[in-house]
Chains A and B, each alone.
Chain A
Amino acid sequence: MPMRIKDTRIRSFTETLSREATPKISDANVLDILAAVGDGSHASAAKVKADLTKPGITRKEQFDLAAKGLTSSEKSDLGQLLDKSGFQMDAGAKNFLEALIGRAPLQETFGPLTITGDQKNGIAGVARPGEVIEAINLSAAPGGRLHLTDTMVIGTADASGKFLGTMPDVREGDLIRMRTRAADGSTSDWLTIQAKGIEAKDTRNAIVNLERMDLTAGTDGISVTHNTARPLSEPGAKLRFTNVRTGEKVDVTVTDKGSLPEGLKLPGKAGDEFKVAGSDGVNNVDFASVAGTLKVPGGNDNLNRVDLPDPKMHKDELNADGTPKYKLERFTGPLFIDGAKPDDVRQGAIGNCYFPAALAAVAAARPDVIEKMIKDNGDGTYTVTFNSASSWSVGRPVEIKVDGDLYARSYGGPIYGGSLGGSTAPDKMELWFPLIEKAYAQWKGSYDSIGNGGVAGQVMSEVMGKTYSYENLSGVNTDRLYERIKKAADNKQPMAAGTYGTEDASRYTNTGVYAHHAYSVLGVEEENGTKYVKLRNPWGQSEHGYDGKNDGFFRIEIGKFTELYRAIHIVNP
């Protein structure tokens, strides 16, 4: 039977909790239920919550605050939470609910140690009179030399059992593990709380101590071991290991002892590097910030020496005898450093703006498509899968295999498409864009075949495997256009726009927009009643207007957009 919770606050609490992976009514969040129960004509829920979390408040006082506003309807709600919700419950939380509906007496303390209120002014609670309270900050410990049992004394329970402990460097959301110690040296079980009420937001992410991990290559992948008894991160933290060669990701949860799950294996081989990112569930949930990189010892460089035929250079870069003016260099860097992003893309010295503009547009809207379309074969070669789709028809997959050789400048970096925002060294540069471009040149015939102009919408179709639409912008209704771009951006449909040709070139000089050029369209925004289109120049520089950064990203008022741009291309849903 489903629950029929009548109180709106309890219902909202229940619905929110239900969305969690392992819903649990804890000693901390039960206070939200007590506040919802305790409100009434005498006090708002917010006021009751504030009273419930006052430092030093006892369980009896908390119970009385809740009981003061309890209605028969809310009793029914609490009964359903106990009997039908299936939620896990801390013993103290469960006793509150049972006591409020008269099913059990209120237990004023739980075991030897009960924490009360928030931690704004310290760690307050109830213990047996005279016992000392020992604690360790599990969130800070991985950054230092502490073992999990290296506690500090934070206070002593007074004659009534109350204590108010102080601990340095406790931040909002930190995990604090505590126990009591009696005069005879005996200790209680551990009790762990999450610090609350200290700051407006939890901004300290889980520390990840990379020095405490060892990676070893084996026949069945990479073993990851914890090489010390000291914690490597806080319990419950999520860690993401990303193989920088293949882009494969593995997520794990740190154990209660601040360690790794036993027998952890990662897909990879000797010589691979893994980026490690951590999240405490509040900060860095997208793992965008990386704690560092670990390399698997060993590896065989010969694996990078499989040599495939390379597409010929553009005619501008060929000598009279047809030999290339630039040498090939083997690039062995990671395919992805932090996933596919539009700001990774840099157009090279080749007239194919439509191609990087299209790829950056897909990276902005559907990075997952880019991450799936290129695969590292582990032998120095890569397989890129395009699609023979066009504006009017969905095609078939087309697989192109290339190696890591790229035409390079004498002073470093590839002559054609490259990557921005990081090293251009052959063993470090992020490779997804230049290799997809190389595969496109291989597919179409040569860099010359793709370096004399093209249509961004066509490339987006060939990447996405979907048809595309285009719209001429001359005389277009800007309000309707704004809504069309907004809807497409919301639907994650890649978009690009092209400017007019060089016969109209003089209209562009000094505008920051360039003639006969393609741009990624990233969406729209409105500010003070003015509507803008957000764009990116595939050069990774040179913009309309000055936004303080010359990174290729800019916005343009929508009327000006329709004046300077000829057409917009949108991949169909």
Chain B
Amino acid sequence: MAKPPEPIDEVLPGADAAVLAEVTRVVQQDPQKPYTGDPMATSTPHPAARQVVELKVSKVLFGSLAKAGGTVQAVKPEGAYALRAGNHGPFVLKSAGEKVEILGRFGPDTWPEGLVSQAAKKHGKQ
């Protein structure tokens, strides 16, 4: 892991919404696979387990998957980061059937709000 964040222009075309939100609780935590590699090594492919979290939305940057003031449950896929209650920032979201999935290699730490808004305008989402 520890690849750099993806360029937002590569991810935003596949996004359905972006919100400013805070994690209120971890609804579901999948078991974490143990790490057996060299403890001194970094960037080894050892993803943090999948989670389902509840997000309290304070602002909608674009899209209609969530409303400001409301909550939404979202899947944090297996990947380079993990969430806990209190984590906050811009979440770029994608509709995945009945679920909502968080995009971006590092979730709310992938891109700042200004960059998300700028890219949303560029891609005609705002």
Contact = CB atoms under 8 A, between A and B. Distances in A.
Interface residues of A, number: 39
In the complex, which of the residues B34, B42, B109 has the most CB atoms of chain A within 10 Å of its own CB atom? B42
Contact of A453 (B6, B45, B82, B87): B45
Nearest to B26: A506
A352 interface: yes
Interface in A540-555: 541-542
Interface in A487-521: 498-499, 501-503, 505-506, 508-510, 512, 514-518
A561 interface: no
Contacts of B125: none
Interface in B68-118: 80-84, 86-89, 106-109
Contacts of A324: none
A353 B43 contact: yes
A518 B83 CA distance: 21
A542 B37 CA distance: 26
A502 B48 contact: yes
B48 A517 contact: no
A348 B5 CA distance: 10
Interface string A349-377: 11111100100000000000000000000
Contacts of A354: 41-43
A347 interface: yes
B63 interface: no
Given A502-B35, A502-B82, A539-B4, A518 B43 contact: yes
A502 B77 CA distance: 13
Interface stretch (A93-101, A247-255, A281-289, A454-462): A454-462
A516 B3 contact: no
Contacts of A348: 4
A512 B32 CA distance: 23
Interface string B15-51: 0000000000000000010110111111111111000
Contacts of A498: 40-42
B109 A542 contact: yes
Contacts of B4: 347-349, 539, 541-542
B1 interface: yes
Interface string A557-570: 00000000011010
Nearest to B78: A502
Contacts of A451: 43
Given A453-B45, A542-B109, A515 B80 contact: yes
B11 interface: no
B44 A516 contact: yes
A350 B81 CA distance: 16
Nearest to A349: B3
Interface in A316-368: 347-354, 357
A137 to B, nearest CB: 48
B90 to A, nearest CB: 12
B2 interface: yes
A509 B84 contact: yes
Contact of A509 (B42, B47, B108): B108
A350 B83 contact: no
A516 B44 CA distance: 7
A71 interface: no
Q: Which residue among A452, A470, A501 has the maximum number of chain B CB atoms within 10 Å of its CB? A: A501
Given A503-B34, A505-B48, A539 B43 contact: no
B4 to A, nearest CB: 4
Contact of B108 (A351, A455, A510): A510
Given A347-B3, A510-B86, 10 more contacts: A351-B1, A351-B44, A455-B42, A457-B40, A501-B44, A505-B81, A509-B81, A516-B1, A517-B2, A566-B39
Interface of A: 347-354, 357, 451-457, 470, 498-499, 501-503, 505-506, 508-510, 512, 514-518, 539, 541-542, 566-567, 569
